[in-house]
Chain A
């Protein structure tokens, strides 16, 4: 298994029990994402793209098939182990930002480090560094309610990055943003990708998908299309030059 796959999925199945019926959502997914790739997963609602993302993020378990994260086979595991995997390997970005409302920007960013038992002083200092890179240093002491959507998403990105994950999983990261802000967020994600972090974005917007290297389309629980994006252009902004 020594290759540069960061995420490798073979024959993945997932169904949900709905009373007496089982809803078969994923019907055999094969996927191989290399370290450092930037991939988008598209599909209409109900195609299973969110389910796939949740399984990749170890928020949900699969029924059948194999899933290797960084060449480690992910099986049904207890929640403690799963939480450690998430904390060490994965950064999440959500459509609705999911910031903790009573914590200020800095504390939100620092939260993953709290779960790693890093001292408050040290984690807040790191959080300030990340906020600085994302141009939000002046907003460090503001609560999420006092920030715009774009700012909130940038804070969420900083929070995803602070634990130095191998993979960023973004579930409709621009879904709640206007197109101008969306592009700014995509710029940042591309920058993140150029640092060497694998970025996987679930989206239904073609504009967003076309800013990734590879587009995977799901249809009814199977992969309908998996093609390299010829139009992909790396950004030239340099937000993370220091890293």
Chain B
């Protein structure tokens, strides 16, 4: 199979017309190069966008109250209403498919002037009220201390956890904030932790880095929100569709608050799962496009190889005739031509793969360098252009198949010529 005589013939066939061989190989090279670069760029786009979602519970949704738009049961349209604790309890009771539910308070009215003070330091930050389970929806790491816990909620402790930016502004670098106090809108809270979100690009309600989280119950009581819930997030149990839960939550809320069943706008919401699906379909579309273009280019390259193999077979008809006269079986002749074709495509394809990977790598290096200089908050939509090992293996397999198919017709043609005709071919 890998006898030197076989390679000698392959190299000789290529050497006899270097320029032609190179041009042909370029077709395949270019196809694979394009495929690699395009796929890598597509992946970078996916990476850039999904990086912003990292670790965020994708099987989640958020719901909140909006003004009603339909008059119902004696109420006029345009009515303001609020979610409340009773709604939350009813929802959790009635829908066991909900994994965690986390009511939230958003202190819009609290961020005014320099609402957060510590000694001589003062700044304006957002204040949110949260349950411990919010961490299941929006995971974070804790550089200092701990997250809000059950006792905080039950005992309505005056504690808080703070975002990275809050820590930076209110504390000295390296200072341990745990146990220190912050005055938030006139009330002192003890800092029990600093949180660092895993997905800083998703901000619901406020920029997380500039936010102070209070225990939900503490915040309801301290800042006079009564039993109000401003909005809530929940996750579905595995295998349960988020939208189906949303569709079951809405009637409960409508019943509690006398909202018309026809009023689609009174309950606002954001379904992370379905939003992600939309994005995934977009990515799928991009990927399909990449592969269609890539495979198309590759087919054009393969036709080129097939063409050149036909010419090679024609030029070497007599030689093939001699070989067959002295005992070369058709299988040997076919094998010879197929291996030439596979060799040509694979070498060209490998160069394309290598070159494409190199270009992607250089882009990656340049992107990293650019990101290092950009402000840390800047979102990037293009990140780590790369192709995975499966893709590389797939393209090698495709190359071998393409080379094989490209050589098939010329090979069959070569053995269809009778040896006697081949011998007399000039």
Contact = CB atoms under 8 A, between A and B. Distances in A.
Interface of A: 54, 57, 59-60, 79-80, 83-84, 86-88, 91-92, 94, 98-103, 107, 111-112, 114-116, 120, 159-160, 163
A79 B333 CA distance: 11
A57 B327 CA distance: 11
A103 B420 contact: no
B170 to A, nearest CB: 80
Contact of A114 (B3, B12, B324, B325): B3
B5 interface: yes
Nearest to A58: B419
Interface of B: 3-5, 8-9, 12, 318-319, 322-332, 415, 418-420, 423
- Tell me which of B4, B319, B322, B326 has the highest count of chain A C-beta atoms within 10 A of its own C-beta: B326
A88 B329 CA distance: 12
Contacts, number: 72
30 contacts: A57-B325, A59-B325, A59-B419, A59-B420, A60-B418, A79-B324, A79-B329, A79-B419, A80-B330, A80-B331, A83-B327, A83-B329, A83-B330, A86-B324, A86-B325, A87-B326, A87-B327, A91-B326, A98-B318, A100-B319, A101-B319, A102-B12, A103-B8, A107-B5, A115-B323, A115-B327, A115-B332, A120-B4, A160-B326, A163-B327
A41 to B, nearest CB: 17
A54 B420 contact: yes
A126 to B, nearest CB: 15
Given A59-B420, A79-B415, A92 B325 contact: yes
B420 A86 contact: no
Contacts of B324: 79, 83, 86
Given A59-B420, A83-B324, 19 more contacts: A59-B418, A59-B423, A79-B415, A80-B329, A83-B328, A88-B327, A98-B318, A98-B325, A99-B322, A100-B322, A102-B12, A103-B5, A115-B323, A115-B328, A115-B329, A115-B332, A116-B327, A160-B326, A163-B327
A-B residue pairs, 7 tightest by C-beta: A87-B327, A83-B329, A115-B327, A59-B420, A102-B12, A98-B322, A79-B330
Contacts of A100: 319, 322-323
B332 to A, nearest CB: 6
Contacts of A59: 325, 418-420, 423
- Tell me which of A59, A84, A91 has the highest count of chain B C-beta atoms within 10 A of its own C-beta: A59
A59 B424 CA distance: 12
A99 B325 CA distance: 12
Nearest to A82: B419
B361 to A, nearest CB: 39
A98 to B, nearest CB: 4
B340 to A, nearest CB: 14
A84 B326 CA distance: 9
A100 to B, nearest CB: 6
Contacts of A54: 420
A86 B326 contact: yes
Nearest to B16: A102
Contacts of B3: 114, 120
Contacts of A88: 327
Contacts of A102: 8-9, 12
A54 B422 CA distance: 13
A52 to B, nearest CB: 12
A114 B4 CA distance: 10
A105 to B, nearest CB: 14
B5 A84 contact: no
A112 B415 CA distance: 18
Given A54-B420, A59-B423, A84 B325 contact: no
A112 B419 contact: no
Nearest to A80: B329
A115 B4 contact: no
Nearest to A88: B327
- Tell me which of A83, A103, A107, A115 has the highest count of chain B C-beta atoms within 10 A of its own C-beta: A83
A225 to B, nearest CB: 26
Given A83-B324, A107-B5, A114-B3, A60 B329 contact: no
A27 to B, nearest CB: 19
Nearest to A113: B327
- Tell me which of A57, A94, A114 has the highest count of chain B C-beta atoms within 10 A of its own C-beta: A114
B330 A60 contact: no
Nearest to A115: B327
